Amino acid sequence: MNELGRLEDLPADYREALSRQNLVPLWPSLRAVLPPGKPQPRTRATHWPYEALRPLLLQAGELTPIEKAERRVLVLANPGHGLEKMQASAAMYLGMQLLLPGEWAPSHRHTPNAVRMVVEGEGAWTTVDGEKCTMQRGDLILTPTGLWHEHGHDGTEPVVWLDVLDLPLVYYMEASYHVDGQRQTQHPGRGDRAYARGGVVPMPVFERSRKAYPMLRYPWADARAALESLAADQPALDAVQVRYVNPETGADAQNILGYSALMLRPGQTLALPARSPAAVFHLIEGAASVQVEDQRFRLAAADTCCAPGYTAVTLANASADRPAFLFIADETPLHQKLGVFETRA
Ligand code: GTQ
């Protein structure tokens, strides 16, 4: 590979003449924007232990009333991007949100897509497009692009959930904005009820809603049961994993980020091939380690970590007699739609 000319090799007056015309020579930057063989991701393997985060989030509850925060969130920022960028990866944003008993986070809608993965506490709910979604540990709740959503809490203990948004991408596209709204009126007709069991549907008439997002709440009890029965049905299957999809089409639940749940059998080690999208791992239950190249994170329940793309990841269950359950968010739908998705052996 040729050494290319540097900026300093050019006469100063020529560089200034270029700048005055808003022109830039490509060759000094060509290798940086098209590095050899594989990208040089800014995204760094990063671990956010819940034990360290939780007291700081509860402290935010004392320091900042909900009215002064609208959304009381500590952002899980990747130092490789610079903390102020509030990015976990190129396309993913992560935040831990706290809602205290009796609090209400007012209705709004925005262009980025979000999901909530409930981490702890009982009694909170998110109303999405008029549908009240109750929140229990491990539930996944979609608040897709453009849909009104508000959060409330009728319980007695703090509720915490993990927000995953495609905000960095939508912001980069200069397409990120929000609109404030009125408190929503709730209507019956919950997608999670209609689609509670594959193969049996509500009577007398059941037709596809043809909504872009027919199901907004994916209860953990159902995803967990699906993993358990998959593991029992296929003892030789390595990756016991289910994808969160639109139940009417089978396509990814959202357009940009992909969501799945994975069960590690007792004592299991699972090597994932290097794939182009970055990924986030959140441990719902059990104990596991996540190895990203030479870094190894030991995840306790409610811990979150991320891995850059083009990097092999090895997951291991730290328990020899109990399964471990992980929630995974990644950039796969985005890479697939753009045609840049790759797997490397
Ligand atoms: O709950 O609507 O973490 O609008 C960031 C932006 C949560 C929310 C975040 C948001 C929300």
Per-residue pLDDT of the chain (345 residues; tens, 9 = 90+): 789 999 999 999 999 999 999 999 999 999 999 999 999 999 999 999 999 999 999 999 999 999 999 999 999 999 999 999 999 999 999 999 999 999 999 999 999 999 999 999 999 999 999 999 999 999 999 999 999 999 999 999 999 999 999 999 999 999 999 999 999 999 988 889 888 888 888 888 788 888 999 999 999 999 999 999 999 999 999 999 999 999 999 999 999 999 999 999 999 999 999 999 999 999 999 999 999 999 999 999 999 999 999 999 999 999 999 999 999 999 999 999 999 999 998
Q: What is the pLDDT of residue 117?
A: 98
Q: What residue spans of 215-309 are helical by DSSP H? A: 220-233
Of 77, 91, 229, nearest to 169 by C-alpha is 91
Q: Are 324 and 74 in contact (CB under 8 A)?
A: no
| pLDDT on residue 200 | 86
Q: How far is the CA of 171 from the centre of ligand 1 (A)?
A: 14
Through-space distance between the first and last CA atoms of the chain, rounded to whole angstroms: 25
How far, in Å, is the centroid of ligand 1 from the Cα of 121? 18
The pLDDT of residue 118 is: 98
Which residues have C-beta atoms less than 6 Å from ligand 1?
71, 73, 95, 97, 110, 114, 149, 163, 165
**Beta strand extents in 111-177 (DSSP E only):** 114-120, 124-128, 131-134, 140-143, 149-153, 159-165
Q: Is 51 helix (H, G, I), strand (E, B) or coil?
A: helix
pTM exceeding 0.95: yes
Pick the residue whose CA is nearest to atom 11 on ligand 1: 71
At 165 the pLDDT is 98
Could you tell me the CATH superfamily of domain 43-344? Jelly Rolls (2.60.120.10)
pLDDT at 23: 98
Mutate which of 57, 66, 71, 143 for ligand 1? The one with the most ligand atoms within 8 Å of its CB, which is 71
Amino acid present at 296: R
**What is the 285 CA–ligand 1 centroid distance (Å)?**
24
Ligand 1 binding pocket mutation candidate from 142, 165, 180 (most atoms within 8 A of CB): 165
Indicate the Cα dihedral angle 328, 334, 336, 339, nearest 10°. -150
Work out which ligand 1 atom sits closest to the CA atom of 108: 2
With H, G, I as helix, E, B as strand and everything else as coil, classify residue 167: helix
CB neighbours of 214 closer than 8 A, spacing ≥ 6?
Answer: 191, 194, 195, 208, 246, 247, 248
